[in-house]
Structures are given as C-alpha cells and as structure tokens.
Amino acid sequence: MSAVVVIRHGETEWSRTHRHTGRTDLPLTPEGEAQVRPLRRRLALLPVAPFAHVWTSPLRRASDTCALAGFVDISRVEPNLREWDCGEYEGLTLAEIHARRPGWDLFRDGAPGGESPAQITERVDAIISEVRRLNGSVALFSHGHLLCALAARWIGLSVTDGARFRLDAAAFGILDVEHNSPSEPSIAAWNVVEYGDVPARSAQVPVARRRSDGTQAA
C-alpha cells in the first residue's frame, strides 16, 4: 500500500473563533481560501504525488479546500470523512462548554446529542480499512477532530489519544508504514504547513471550480 496524506480544511469563521464545528456547513473565510490555494504546489512536492485517489468530506469547508487545491475533478465524496458531530455543544467554545461541564473532553467523552468516541472509531476504522486495500497514494480532505482520531487509529491507538494530536487549518499529515508492511503503521509527517521551499504565503495558482457552488476560483 502507499501513503495516505490527510489535509485539514482552511479557516472558517468558527474555527477562527475556536467554536466547535461539527455538522454546521460553514464556508471558508477569505483568509481560509488564501491558506488553501498554495496546497496544490505544496502537495505536488510530496514524494507520494500524484495521488491515485482523492476523497473529501461532504461538508463544504473541506470540499472547497479540495477544489481550491485543484482536485475537484478527480475527487470522491466520502460521508465517513465528515467532522465529529458535536451535538448540543455545536457552536460553543471550550470555555463555554467547561462552564457547563468542567473537565469535558470531546475525544474522551463524546458530545451529548452528537457522536461518541465509539461511533467515531467505527467511522475512521472503516476509512482505514478501505484505503489500505487501495493501490496508489491517497489524499483525504477532512476536518481537525476527525483526522486526529484517524491518525491515532492508524498507528493502533484509541480515538481518545487523538486529543494529543494537533492539526492546524490547511495543514497536512502523512500516514505511512515502515518496511512496506501494513503491520508497521507509522506517521511520516504531521501538522505540516509548508513543504520544501514553498512558503506558506506563496502566489495564488489558478484552480478548478469549487464543488459547492460550481464557480471558477482564481
């Protein structure tokens, strides 16, 4: 099997203000669009490029990131890549949640009215099982909580351990294996916002239309 590159979407208004965003389908901010446009060049520098398979969450902040990075025409929408449903805590900051429930942690406790760690484990394990059967490298455009949970499960940890990972807006990670053996999963890179000599604020590159609105992106 080949490597899996996981990419978090760019900034939204709620990610900028640190509000838990699960099922709410927010667009990227202008800053978020600027963050993700250089991804086409950054990802092309990876030794695993070009990608044989590109999957994206159905939520527009991820699918627009995929499109602005230049992959809209070859991408597949994968429902299991949607973000962790935060239920009653949707739109709240961690401080607001802790005022109600001191010590709460999404990865350990789940969200009331949303998804539990066991449900997220089922979802990310299904993704891992499928991508391990594919030939060629894979790119997954998704969300912070979901991708941290996926990375933890990739190396045999629990979803709860995903709380120890950090993935910033428009950053990516590389999930791989040692000695070409699926029994030796590894994380080759994590929370990368630059690669090689491509600066974080590189020039904009023309890209294809966005999946969510069908317009042309400059």
* Known catalytic residue at 83: yes
Please say whether the beta carbons of 32 and 8 come within 8 A.
Answer: no
Spatial separation of the C-alpha atoms in residues 178 and 189, rounded to whole Å? 13
What residue has token string 């429902």? 79
Q: How many CB atoms sit inside 10 A of residue 168's CB?
A: 15
| Active-site hit among 11, 33, 78, 83 | 83
Amino acid symbol at 45:
L
| Active-site hit among 9, 20, 143, 145 | 9
CA atoms within 13 A on the CB side of 190: 16
* Known catalytic residue at 122: no
Residues serving a catalytic function are 9, 83
